[in-house]
């Protein structure tokens, strides 16, 4: 993933006794926030030998960051620096909605791994409870993008289905809904613009 700008910080301790970074008490919750085409991607690093190093925390759109703040607690000065930068370098955007529908009777979606422009966008995101609900909604800069996804369904036995990469272009203010229909081990794709 190509990053336009990145910030590095340790998680802010809102509770001094809290285990940060999800590994062990003396780990400092090392976080890197990278701004790229898919928005802000958060990556962590843990120095515990049993944990194994780097991990993806998640991705959020610039709009989500400005509306709700960072995915993880960060020092206030880092949050403000990110807010100022993304506000000053604001790009025209469109809205992207990604949806998965499983058509096989008795099967249900249990996991989606999706990437947008090389960034994993479904890390730490719960699946929607309703079939046909969006598993990702966010803003993307105007221009060409690519998205791809893998879907795990179960109902008798686990099934993995991978979609082909979808290349799309969006204009300012446009809303694009991409529906991945999972049938057996195949995926069909439909796009609707508004």
Encode the chain in three state secondary structure: CCCCEEEEEECCCCCCCCCCCCCCCCCCCEEEEEEECCEEEEEEEECCCCCCEEEEEEEECHHHHHHHCCCCCCCHHHHHHHHHHHHHCCCCEEEEEEEEEECCCCCEEEEEEEEECCEECCCCCCCCCCCCCEEEEEEEECEEEEEEEEEEEECCCCEEEECCCEEEEECCCCEEEEEEEEECCEEEEEEEEC
- My answer on whether 59 and 39 are in the same domain is yes
**Residue 51: per-residue pLDDT:** 64
What integer is the mean pLDDT of 38-58?
A: 76
Number of domain units in the chain: 2
- My answer on whether 121 and 82 are in the same domain is no
- My answer on whether 100 and 81 are in the same domain is no
Task: Using the 3D structure, point to which of 72, 88, 104 is the last residue of a domain.
Answer: 88
- My answer on whether 83 and 102 are in the same domain is no
Residue 148 sits in a domain of what CATH number?
A: 2.60.40
pLDDT, one tens digit per residue, over 80-94 is: 999 999 999 888 889
Q: Which of 58-62, 111-115, 149-153, 178-182 has the lowest mean pLDDT?
A: 58-62
- My answer on whether 39 and 124 are in the same domain is no
Q: Which of 52-61, 123-132, 143-152 has the lowest mean pLDDT?
A: 123-132
- My answer on whether 102 and 175 are in the same domain is yes
User: Residue 35: which domain range?
Assistant: 5-88
- My answer on whether 138 and 66 are in the same domain is no
Confidence at 96, pLDDT banded by 50, 70, 90: very high
Task: Using the 3D structure, point to which of 41, 58, 88 is the last residue of a domain.
Answer: 88
- My answer on whether 174 and 83 are in the same domain is no
- My answer on whether 102 and 168 are in the same domain is yes
- My answer on whether 114 and 65 are in the same domain is no
What integer is the mean pLDDT of 126-149?
A: 86
How high does pLDDT run on average in the chain? 83
Task: Using the 3D structure, point to which of 88, 103, 121 is the last residue of a domain.
Answer: 88
What integer is the mean pLDDT of 104-129?
A: 83
Is the model's pLDDT at 28 over the cut of 70?
Answer: no
What integer is the mean pLDDT of 167-173?
A: 95
Confidence at 18, pLDDT banded by 50, 70, 90: very low
């Amino acid at each position: 993933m190509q990053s336009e700008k990145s910030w590095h910080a340790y998680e802010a301790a809102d509770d001094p006794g809290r285990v940060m970074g999800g590994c062990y008490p003396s780990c400092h919750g090392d976080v890197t926030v990278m701004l790229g085409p898919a928005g802000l991607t958060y990556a962590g690093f843990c120095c515990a030998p049993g944990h194994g190093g780097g991990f993806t925390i998640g991705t959020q759109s610039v709009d989500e960051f400005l509306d709700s703040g960072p995915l993880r607690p960060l020092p206030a000065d880092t949050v403000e620096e990110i807010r100022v930068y993304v506000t000053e370098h604001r790009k025209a955007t469109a809205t992207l909605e990604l949806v998965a529908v499983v058509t096989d009777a008795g099967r249900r979606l249990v996991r989606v791994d999706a990437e947008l422009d090389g960034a994993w966008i479904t890390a730490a995101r719960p699946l929607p409870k309703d079939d046909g609900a969006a598993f990702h909604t966010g803003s993307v800069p105007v221009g060409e993008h690519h998205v791809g996804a893998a879907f795990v369904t179960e109902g008798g036995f686990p099934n993995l289905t991978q979609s082909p990469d979808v290349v799309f272009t969006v204009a300012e203010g446009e809303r694009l809904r991409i529906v991945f229909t999972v049938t057996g081990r195949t995926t069909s794709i439909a796009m609707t613009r508004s």
